[in-house]
Structure 1
Amino acid sequence: MAVSISHLGYNKISQMIFEWQAADRTSLMALFIVLEVSLHWFWCLYVWWQQDALNTYVNIHYLYPLWLGISFVGLFFLCMVKGLFHSSNDNDIVLSRWQIALVLVYTAYISTVIVMIGYSSLFAGVSLVGGAMLGMMLIKRRYAWRMFWLHIILMLLAIMSPYFGISLPNLRQLTVIHPMLESHNYLTYNEIMAAENAVAALAFENNVLNWDSISELQRSSAFFWRSTHLYLALPKAIFIVYMFRALLLVLDDSRFETLLHANQDELTQLKNRRYGLKKMKYALATVREYQDLSVMLLDLDWFKQINDNYGHDVGDQVLIEISQTLSQSLTDKTIISRYGGEEFLIVLPDTKHDSAMMIAEQLRLNIAEHVMKIEGLADFNVTASFGLYTLTHEERDCIAQGYKTITQQKTVAQTSPLIKPIATQRAESKIALMQKLPSDICQRLISTADKALYEAKHRGRNQVVSANEMWAEKEGGKQSLYKSR
C-alpha cells in the first residue's frame, strides 16, 4: 500500500489503526518522521538565510553539521518509507529489524536536536511524550516503550553532563553572561532566559509601546528561541492530539457497536434476552410506590409449520415484520425483547392490569391483521398467543416485607463476635434487597406469564390470557406470586 499525505484524513486514520498491515503502519510512522525532520531542515535554512541578523543568538559553526545530519536522517527515513512499501507483511523478522532501526535512529536524532536547541523547552517535552505515544499506535508497543526510556536516559545524561565537566554542543549563543556560572547547563538556561526577559522589558519604558521597542523585542534572543520552540513543538503537538482524538472517536464508535451487538438481537434488532432481563430487573428495582408492573409473553402460533412449509428465510422475515409491528405499536418506555425463537417478552412499567390487557389485545389484533407479503409466495397472516401477568404494588410490598423478614432472621441466626451497628445492618439489608429480590421476582413473573401463555395455546391460540384472572377464577380472588414458598 502506498503511503501519501492524502491518507492522513480522519477516516483513513481510523482505518489505518485497525485495518492496515504492520509494514504499512511502520511506513506511515517513518513518513511522519520525515515531515518532522522537514520542519527542522527548513528552520536551519531560515537561520542560514538570516545568519547576519541571527549570528548573535545562534552559533553558526554548529549549525552546518546539524543541518547536514538532519539532511542525512531525512534521506534515511525516506528510504525506509520506500523500503517498507516493497517489503512483505508476512516477514516478521525483517519488519522487526526495520522498526528497531527506526526507533534507534529517531531516538538518537531527536535527542541530539533537543540537546543542541534546548532540552528545558516545550519542544523537548513534546518530543519526549509525543514520539512514544505515536509509536504506541503505529509500531510494536514494546519498541515504543523502550524508545521512551532510551530517550529519558539520554536526556538525563545530557542534563548531568555539565556537572562532570562535559560540555555538549549548543546552538544557543548566550547574549547575557551569567557571572557565577560558565557552562550551559539547565540552571543557566533558565537564569539566562530570566535575565533576557528583564532586558527585553526595558524596551517598554514608561509602559509606552512604540515601533523601536517592538523591533528591539523581536531582535531579542529570548523571542527568537521561544519562537523556535513553538515552531518545532506546536505542529507535532497538534498532530499527535488530533491523532489521539481520532483514536478515541474510533474507540467510542467501537464500544458503542460492541454494546449494540451485545444487547441487541441481530435478526429482529430488538433487545436480546439477556439485555431484556437486565432492563426488566432494573425496572423492578426502580418502580415507584403505588405503581404496578405488567409482563407479557407472546408466542407466534404455528411458527414451526411456517419454517417447515416455506423455509427458514421466510420464518426470519416473519420474525422481522412482527418485531417491527411491536416496536411501532408500543411506546419507548416499554421494554421489548426477543425471549427465544418465536417468543417475545414485553415489560410494561407503571401499567395496571386493565391497561395491560387492552394493550395486549390491540397487539394481538395488529399482528393478526398484518399481511405477510413474501416475494414468490401467496400472502398470508400469522397470529400470536399472549400470556400476561400484572404485579400490583400491594403484592410487591408484601413480597418485599416478607423477604426483609427472612433476611433479618438469617442475620440473627448467623452470630458474630463483632456486632454491627443497626444503621449498617439496615443499609446492607437494603442493598441485598435491591440486588437479590428483583432478580427473583423476574423469574417468577416470567414463569407466571408463561403459564398464562400455555393456557392461551390450550384454549385455541390467537388470544390473550391473564394469569391474574386465572388465579382469581381458581382461588376465589386470592393470589400470591410466592404462595409455593
Structure 2
Amino acid sequence: MTVSIYQLGYKKLSRIIFEWQAADRVSLMALFILMETYLHWLWCLYVWIRRDTLGAYVDIEMLYPVWLCINVMGLFTWWMVEYLSRIKNDDVRLNRWQIVFVSVYSVYIILIGLLLGHSGFFAGVSLVGGIMLGMMLIRRRYIWRAFLGQLLLILVLTSLQQWGGVNIPNLQRAISGVEILGSYNHLAETAIVLALENDIDRLTALDEIRRSAMLFWHSTYMYLAVPKAIFIVYVFRTLLIILDTSKEETLKHANQDGLTQLTNRRYGLMKMQDTFSLFVLEDKQNYSVILMDLDFFKRINDNYGHQVGDQVLQEVAGVLKSTLQETCNVSRYGGEEFLIVLPDTSHREVLTIAEQLRSNIAEHVIQMTDDFSLQVTASFGVYTLTCEELTRIKQDHMTSESEPVKPVLTKLQKLKRRHNKQTQVEYSISEQAQNGLPSDMCQRLISIADKALYEAKDRGRNQVVSANEMRAAKSRSESPSASGTESL
C-alpha cells in the first residue's frame, strides 16, 4: 500500500504536500475517505444492533441498501488505495482514475446526505470539507468541477423534491405522519394533537418518542460531521504552520549571508534605510556607520586556500556578533567587508566600539588544526552624521532643487520625457517623502566611511579612522572663505 495511517504526522504531512508524487497524494485522499466510510459503516452497525429500540424512528428496511452502498464505497476506496500504487508512473491512467474517484465520491456523499435526512451542518461539512481537502491532494481542476457538479446535483434533487412532487426516501421514519426533523407538516401535526387531545398518555408518549428521535438524529449528525470537521481544521492548521515555516525559511535565505550567518548586503542596506528614515523623522542626535575590511585577506586565500578564508570570515563574524549588541545592524557588505550601522550613537561611542572590535579581532586566535592557527587584523572607517549636519544637508539640497539647471534635450529625449511624465511626478512625490534629503543618503554615508577606511589602510592597516576628524582637518586647512564643512 502506498500510504499508511502512521504517516499522518506534522512532518510527514508537509512532505506529502510539497514532495509526494500525484499518485501518493490521491492515495492518501482515498485513505481519508476510507476512514469516513468506516464511520458511516459503524453507525449502520450500531443502528442494526439496536434496531428494536431505534426502529421507531429509523427505517430499518431502508438501512440495508444504505449499508450495502457504504460497503461498496469502502471496498472501492480500499481498492483505489492499492491500485494507485501500481499506476503511479502512468499519468494518463492516473488522471483518468482521479476523475472516476472524485466523481464516485461526489455522488456518494450527496446520496448519504439525502438518505440521512436534512442537516445543514452535516451537509456543509461533508461538501465543503471534502472539497477543501481535495484541493490539497488532487488536481484542483478536477475538484473544482466536482464541486460545481455537486452543487448542480443538489439543486436538481432539491427542486424535484420541493416542486416536482418526487419523494426521495431517507432513513428517518415519520412518527404518526409528522417528520422528525426538517420541514414540519403543521396541518398534520395540528390534526394529530386535536385527535389525541383526549388521550393524554398517547400524546405524551408520542412527544417522548419525537424528542428521543430528535436527540438521536442530532447525535448522528454530530458523530458523522464533527470528526471530519476537526480533521479538516487540523490539516489546514498544519498547512498554515508549514506555509509560515516555509516563508520564514525563504526570508532567511533571501536576507542572510550563507557563509557568515550575518545579514547580506541587500537586506543590510534595506534595514539601514529603515533606521535612517526613523532617525530623520524622530530628529535623533546621531547616526553612525562603520565600514570594516579585513587586512590582507587575499593573501590568506592565495596562501592557504578558500576553505581557510571561509573559516576566517566565519570566525570574524562570530567576533562581531559577540561584541556588538543585538540591536546593531551588522551585515556582510562585500567579500571581506562588513557594514555596521549604529543609530542614535554618538561619535565618541562609535569610536570606542570600533576600537573594541579592532582589538577583539586582532587578539582572536583562529584555530584551523591542532598545529595550525591564524590571527588577522581589520581596518575601520567610521562616520557619524549629526543632527546639525543633517539640517545643513536639507537646506543645501532644497536650495539646489529650487534652482534646477535645464538640460539640453534632443527630440527623442523630449518624447520620452513626455511619455514618462507620470513617472516623473511619482518620483518627485517620493523625493518629498524623504523630507528634503537626497534619495541616496545611505549610500553617501557609506561612501564617506569608505574614504576613512581607505585612509586607515594607507596609514598601515589595523586602525580606526574617523571620517569626521578627516573632514574637520580638511575644513581647517581650507581658506576662510570656504564653507565650514565638506558637502555630502
Distance 1:292 1:149 in 2: 63
3-state DSSP of counterpart to 2:332: strand
Structure 1 residue 130 corresponds to structure 2 residue 129 = yes
Distance 1:363 1:188 in 2: 78
- Equivalent of 2:390 in 371, 386, 396: 396
- Equivalent of 2:357 in 357, 363, 370: 363
Q: Which runs of 5+ in 2 are unaligned?
A: 193-203, 405-424, 478-483
Give the superposition deviation at 1:83.
0.9
AA aligned to 1:295 is V
AA aligned to 1:226 is H
Indicate if the aligned counterparts of 1:264 and 1:271 stay in contact, CA closer than 8 A.
yes
Indicate if the aligned counterparts of 1:299 and 1:386 stay in contact, CA closer than 8 A.
yes
Indicate if the aligned counterparts of 2:301 and 2:309 stay in contact, CA closer than 8 A.
yes
TM-score, length of structure 1 as denominator length: 0.85
Distance 2:134 2:326 in 1: 46
The residue that corresponds to 1:333 in the other structure is 327
Give the superposition deviation at 1:174.
2.2
Give the superposition deviation at 1:96.
0.8
The residue that corresponds to 2:29 in the other structure is 29
The residue that corresponds to 2:378 in the other structure is 384
The residue that corresponds to 1:458 in the other structure is 458
Distance 1:91 1:460 in 2: 70
1:363-399 superposed Cα distances (whole Å, 9 cap, x missing partner):
1111111111102662221110111110001111232
Distance 1:404 1:40 in 2: 77
Give the superposition deviation at 1:176.
5.8
3-state DSSP of counterpart to 2:85: helix
Alignment root-mean-square deviation, CA: 2.7
The 3 A distance-change label for structure 1 pair 343 and 68 is same
Indicate if the aligned counterparts of 2:181 and 2:214 stay in contact, CA closer than 8 A.
no
Give the superposition deviation at 1:121.
2.5
1:252-276 superposed Cα distances (whole Å, 9 cap, x missing partner):
1111111111111000000100110
3-state DSSP of counterpart to 1:340: coil
Distance 1:378 1:293 in 2: 41
Alignment of 1:109-128 (within 5 A): 109-128=108-127
Structure 1 residue 323 corresponds to structure 2 residue 342 = no
- Equivalent of 2:225 in 233, 237, 252: 233
The 3 A distance-change label for structure 1 pair 352 and 176 is farther
AA aligned to 2:221 is H
Distance 1:298 1:3 in 2: 55
Give the superposition deviation at 1:11.
2.1
Distance 1:130 1:387 in 2: 61
The 3 A distance-change label for structure 1 pair 437 and 265 is farther
Indicate if the aligned counterparts of 1:468 and 1:479 stay in contact, CA closer than 8 A.
no
The residue that corresponds to 1:57 in the other structure is 57
The residue that corresponds to 2:485 in the other structure is 479
Give the superposition deviation at 1:110.
0.5
The 3 A distance-change label for structure 1 pair 248 and 458 is same
> More deviation in 396-405 or 459-468?
396-405
Give the superposition deviation at 1:408.
7.4
3-state DSSP of counterpart to 2:331: strand
TM-score, length of structure 2 as denominator length: 0.85
3-state DSSP of counterpart to 1:220: helix
3-state DSSP of counterpart to 1:102: helix
The residue that corresponds to 2:147 in the other structure is 148
1:110-159 superposed Cα distances (whole Å, 9 cap, x missing partner):
11101111244211000111001000111111111112111111111121
- Equivalent of 1:263 in 244, 255, 265: 255
The residue that corresponds to 1:419 in the other structure is none
Distance 2:208 2:395 in 1: 84
Indicate if the aligned counterparts of 2:398 and 2:436 stay in contact, CA closer than 8 A.
no
Indicate if the aligned counterparts of 1:117 and 1:170 stay in contact, CA closer than 8 A.
yes
Indicate if the aligned counterparts of 1:307 and 1:314 stay in contact, CA closer than 8 A.
yes
Indicate if the aligned counterparts of 1:407 and 1:429 stay in contact, CA closer than 8 A.
no
AA aligned to 2:448 is T
The 3 A distance-change label for structure 1 pair 399 and 100 is same
Structure 1 residue 47 corresponds to structure 2 residue 47 = yes
The residue that corresponds to 2:213 in the other structure is 221
Give the superposition deviation at 1:18.
1.4
Distance 1:91 1:60 in 2: 44
Q: Which runs of 5+ in 1 are unaligned?
A: 179-183, 200-211, 411-424
Indicate if the aligned counterparts of 1:281 and 1:438 stay in contact, CA closer than 8 A.
no
3-state DSSP of counterpart to 2:289: strand
The residue that corresponds to 2:341 in the other structure is 347
Indicate if the aligned counterparts of 2:431 and 2:437 stay in contact, CA closer than 8 A.
no
Give the superposition deviation at 1:14.
1.7
The 3 A distance-change label for structure 1 pair 48 and 438 is farther
3-state DSSP of counterpart to 1:86: coil
Distance 1:377 1:312 in 2: 19
Give the superposition deviation at 1:35.
0.5
The residue that corresponds to 2:157 in the other structure is 158
> More deviation in 317-326 or 448-457?
448-457
Indicate if the aligned counterparts of 1:119 and 1:155 stay in contact, CA closer than 8 A.
no
> More deviation in 281-290 or 265-274?
281-290
Distance 1:85 1:110 in 2: 25
Give the superposition deviation at 1:429.
6.2
Alignment of 1:152-301 (within 5 A): 152-162=151-161, 163-175=163-175, 177=177, 189-191=182-184, 216=208, 220-287=212-279, 288-301=282-295
AA aligned to 1:171 is L
Indicate if the aligned counterparts of 1:296 and 1:388 stay in contact, CA closer than 8 A.
yes
The residue that corresponds to 1:205 in the other structure is none
The residue that corresponds to 2:197 in the other structure is none
AA aligned to 2:182 is Y
> More deviation in 244-253 or 18-27?
18-27
The residue that corresponds to 2:304 in the other structure is 310
AA aligned to 2:385 is L
Aligned pair count reads 442
The residue that corresponds to 1:11 in the other structure is 11
AA aligned to 2:368 is I
AA aligned to 2:111 is T
The 3 A distance-change label for structure 1 pair 123 and 312 is same
Distance 1:480 1:467 in 2: 11
Indicate if the aligned counterparts of 1:404 and 1:429 stay in contact, CA closer than 8 A.
no
Give the superposition deviation at 1:283.
0.7
Distance 1:405 1:40 in 2: 81
